[in-house]
Amino acid sequence: GLNLAASDVRYLFAGLREFYSERSQAGLDAYSAKALARVWKAVRFSWWMTTILHRFPETGEFGQRIQEAELDYLVHSKAASTALAENYVGLPY
């Protein structure tokens, strides 16, 4: 949540700076799209973390095996670990 708040402030500041220094509405017009794109990436990551770290009885044995395979991949793949770290500490602006 705090990462999203910081990015919102950054996007809004850039839009306001552009509006007042260049008299351009473009930054303010793009604010919502930029902020929402970042929010949806954060929601995707939260969903992924929830599905990987919690057991859901309705997924059955197949779902449990998929979850175990995903965790195994995460632990043994540098690329997967890097993606986790990037998402966990906050995606780039």
pTM of the model: 0.78
Digit-by-digit pLDDT tens for the chain (93 residues) are: 788 898 899 999 999 999 999 999 999 999 999 999 999 999 999 999 999 999 988 989 999 999 999 999 999 999 999 999 999 887 776
Please write down the long-range contacts of 87-92, taking CB distance under 8 Å and 24 or more positions apart: 87/41, 87/45, 88/45, 89/3, 90/3, 90/6, 90/7, 91/3, 91/38, 91/41, 91/42
Residue 5: count other Cβ atoms within 10 Å of its Cβ: 9
Please report, for the chain, the start and end positions of each structural domain, with discontinuous segments joined by +: 2-89
Q: How many CA atoms lie within 13 A of 8 on its CB side?
A: 9
8 A C-beta contact, residue 18 and residue 24? yes
At 38-62, the pLDDT tens digits run 999 999 999 999 999 999 889 899 9
Give Dmax over CA atoms of the chain in angstroms: 59
8 A C-beta contact, residue 27 and residue 19? yes
Q: What percent of the chain has pLDDT over 90?
A: 82
